Structure 1
């Protein structure tokens, strides 16, 4: 049985370089999926992907198993050596609003979904690009100073994806297509932080509120390819208008889960003690952070309930070779989100 070892220091996530045999096996499974699907953006593809992930090489499946059940003492795994064809994928998009069917990146999309599905079930948010499973992360000039994936001139501060929602993903995967600008992805892992009892008592109590980030608002979902009705945003609007108190820390004292969004989260008004504890935790993340300059073919698996992530300031090229990443959300319990989905077959949370 393979022996997975993790360094005791937090300088980097666990790194796994794909072996030639693993790459060949992945390519064969991707070929089969490509024969049957012209898009990754269907529930049928997501189901097929979940089944196909069971055919991945044992070492990859074991790595995913150990990571998702916290046998590895790290908040992220970096897979290296994934095939990204720089010529075939064409110019970097200038916006996330790109066609869904038969894109030039289809092979890369299928590969990422397959390697994400080994962790759990992929899904999308209806209020975020109409439920798209595989989001484009590219710099957008008008969003340069926003706390969004399109931002660049401000640091993207510590957060879990969709921290405001009880059905937020357990994991996410990020695949790098291009990063000529050498932007840094930053990570911090709660397992590297010693939390005193007095801080735990405060942070584990429902003394904080989180509002949805702007990517779930109607004006961030204007598309040339589809239109969302206002009712799709009804729950988001309620969550924004009346956020319910939540804790920052939950679960096991020894292996806590976190619920953090620095830009959209705060202590309940007047609770100075809770505000101070939250600021303390954020500074701990700063002290324990590590940075990764992702290269084409690098994929991060991030534990969305045990690690926070962000991005450095960088100077975008704003052109055909601008920074280009893709992101997929993964859940360990798709059934739990059924009250938020249109049907049991749907993979879109509304």
Structure 2
């Protein structure tokens, strides 16, 4: 199945970039409901209402402006107040509310996904080894509803693919008994490395939870092939079958500079193929952002006007 693709016109690209460069200095709260050009806004809104069978949308042809080297002296660039952060704000606010997490990257709203020297083997954005299928923040009770990935630079060899697989396509390959097992509350998900970088004690895994839930014809998924486990043989067999089915239906997208992939984080798992960084200033570089449809009132009070979800221990008592 071909995923939805929207290619921007030159006029849309210019208008959107001008608005992005403005809003980035004021924050996502300055992104009005009609901030995106009409055709882009309507497409993104429709995706937010129903992400369809593939669970993702590709916007192509965004302006990305002038960029510094990906790395300088081994240190990654951060791009404060760059227009690409404004693009993320405008798109995220069209999908819902832009958020960050206090216990991930210090609550930043826009993340730089770039390989880091010495972290090549890490199973997260700073690595360059293959990264298998996962939804974002599988362990968290307030997972993002949507994630966005904006490509600033490709890898040197142009082989690094963003791999996207929809549970709504994968379930068609699974046996009824496997689907029944995946809907049982018998699975546990460990914290990803981005949440445990600064901890010395491994947090207890989240769960038990189902891997598949929702209507049979439009299921949702809570799964990370690296972090989701089961204590039962049937559960482990079902997880392997799901991983194989996701592989079978995978869409491989080699993102170009100016591409923005929007993913329904409850429908589409994603991963990345391996690549070889050179740390010469021209390595692969994406920017990532999150959007959520709603936040419980009690959590909003704890956030005190910010867009940062409090640390997990502070909100554990809500669920």
What TM-score, normalized to structure 1? 0.81
Post-superposition Cα deviations, 1:233-264, rounded to whole Å, max 9, x if no partner, equal 79xx68x2253201000111110110011111
Backbone CA RMSD of aligned residues: 2.3
Structure 1 CA distance for aligned equivalents of residues 222 and 252 of structure 2: 21
Q: Which blocks of at least 5 consecutive residues in structure 2 are unaligned? A: 312-319
Post-superposition Cα deviations, 1:95-141, rounded to whole Å, max 9, x if no partner, equal 78755744xxx112112221232111111011111100100111112
Structure 1 runs, 4 residues or longer, greater than 6 Å off: none
Q: Which blocks of at least 5 consecutive residues in structure 1 are unaligned? A: 1-8, 38-44, 220-232
Q: Is the 1:169–1:331 contact (alpha carbons within 8 Å) kept by the matching residues of 2?
A: yes
Within the candidate set 207, 227, 238, 1:264 is matched to 227
SS at match of 1:136: strand
Alignment correspondent of 2:302: 342
SS at match of 1:241: coil
Within the candidate set 138, 154, 157, 1:179 is matched to 154
**Cα distance change on mapping 1:73 and 1:173 into 2, 3 Å:** same
Instruction: Quote how far apart the aligned CAs of 1:166 are.
Output: 1.4
Structure 2 CA distance for aligned equivalents of residues 133 and 341 of structure 1: 19
**Cα distance change on mapping 1:339 and 1:30 into 2, 3 Å:** closer
Alignment correspondent of 2:104: 128
Aligned length: 305
Q: Is the 1:96–1:137 contact (alpha carbons within 8 Å) kept by the matching residues of 2?
A: no
Please say if 1:215 is aligned against 2:178: no
Instruction: Quote how far apart the aligned CAs of 1:84 are.
Output: 1.4
Within the candidate set 162, 169, 175, 1:192 is matched to 169
**Cα distance change on mapping 1:311 and 1:176 into 2, 3 Å:** same
Alignment correspondent of 2:277: 316
Please say if 1:108 is aligned against 2:108: no
Alignment correspondent of 2:315: none
Within the candidate set 46, 50, 58, 2:28 is matched to 46
Instruction: Quote how far apart the aligned CAs of 1:89 are.
Output: 1.6
Name the structure where strand makes up a greater proportion of residues: 2
Instruction: Quote how far apart the aligned CAs of 1:74 are.
Output: 2.3
Instruction: Quote how far apart the aligned CAs of 1:216 are.
Output: 0.8
Structure 2 CA distance for aligned equivalents of residues 242 and 149 of structure 1: 21
